[in-house]
Structures are given as C-alpha cells and as structure tokens.
Amino acid sequence: MVCDICAVNQATVHLTEIVDEQMTELHLCEECAKTKSMDMEQHFGLGDLLGGLSDLGKAQVEGRENVKLKCSNCGISYEDFRKMGRLGCGECYNSFRKYLMPLLKRIHGSNKHYGKMPLMLTRPVEEKSEIAELKAGLEKAIQDEEFEEAARIRDMLKELEKKELKDIGE
C-alpha cells in the first residue's frame, strides 16, 4: 500500500482519525507519519494532552473540584499542572503523588517506571523487583507474626537468589 500523502513510499503507519463523528483512515510512510506527528504536537501540544487527561481524573479526586496543593520546592500548584500539563520539578511528584498516581496509571497502564532497556536485560530487572517485593513481604509477615507465610516467602527468596547466582555464573 502506498502512502496517502507522498504517494511514493510504502505505507507502514496506519491511522484512523475521527473528527466530528467522521472516520478517516490514513496510510502513511514513516517520513510522512513523523511530519504528521510533529504537526499534531504543535497543534495540540503534549501539555494540552496531559492537562486534558488530568481533567478526566478531576471527578475522581475525592469529590473536590479544586485541589489547593502547591509543591514545596518550586511552588507550582496542582491547578497550574492541570492547565499546563507539566510539572515544575522532581519534587512535584511527591507533592502531588496522591493525584498523579491514578493519572500515571491511566496514561502508562502502570505507576511503576523501569525505563527502556534491551529485552535481554528485562528478566534480571524483573527478578530483582520480585526479590525486593518478596523481602518486603517477608518483613511484613515476620512483623505480623505470620511465621508459616514468612517461611514460604523465605523459601521463594532462596530459590530466586539461587537462580540469580546460577545465571551470573553462566
């Protein structure tokens, strides 16, 4: 299939646009898709998108219409974030944590970020994350005096750590 815009290159990106209940399909080559993407970002802007998504969560914020929070570091208010779609600093994540977590989960499908990495490295990171979660569960089980559960978690931890040592040795 040939690109609908340049009519030269092979179409590798297929978009469906719905504007005023009218559906339009676009078949674009990679170059035209990049141009279209830049045009859309300039027209809408990432800030508008994030601000719009935060407006979706507006009703979910404990029934309050306005959240009167400010970042203790940069002074940006949550309302400013909702308008601009951008946080002011890294501390904003802590200041607005209660309201950002549902938003991040809605955008990314998860509220944990591991970053991009080669596929061959994802297994060790997932295992380390699982080990950390198990260690936390072990501490909680011991604290709650649930010793059978603690023993089960301990055994799972030993197996994972043994597997990790074996993988390192190879």
- For 27-66, what is each residue's pLDDT tens digit? 889 888 888 776 665 555 555 555 555 544 444 444 444 5
- The answer to whether residues 34 and 62 belong to one domain is no
- The answer to whether residues 52 and 34 belong to one domain is no
Per residue in 83-113, pLDDT tens? Answer: 777 888 989 888 888 888 887 777 766 767 6
**What does the chain come to in residues?**
170
Closest CA to 28 of 4, 56, 63, 58: 4
pLDDT surpasses 90 at 154? yes
Q: For residues 131-141, give the mean pLDDT.
A: 89
- The answer to whether residues 39 and 54 belong to one domain is no
In three-state secondary structure terms, 1 is coil
> For residue 64, what pLDDT is reported?
46
66 CA to centre of own chain: 24
Q: Domain count for the chain, please give it.
A: 3
- The answer to whether residues 126 and 92 belong to one domain is no
- The answer to whether residues 128 and 85 belong to one domain is no
Which of residues 72 and 117 earns the better pLDDT score?
72
6 assigned to some structural domain: no
- The answer to whether residues 51 and 35 belong to one domain is no
pLDDT surpasses 60 at 133? yes
pLDDT surpasses 70 at 122? no
Cα–Cα distances in Å, from 121 out to 88, 127, 147, 156?
32, 10, 34, 22
- The answer to whether residues 55 and 102 belong to one domain is yes
> For residue 30, what pLDDT is reported?
87
pLDDT surpasses 70 at 167? no
Q: Which domain holds residue 29?
A: 13-44
Of the residues 63, 78, 108, which one is the last residue of a structural domain?
A: 108
7 assigned to some structural domain: no
- The answer to whether residues 125 and 154 belong to one domain is yes
23 assigned to some structural domain: yes
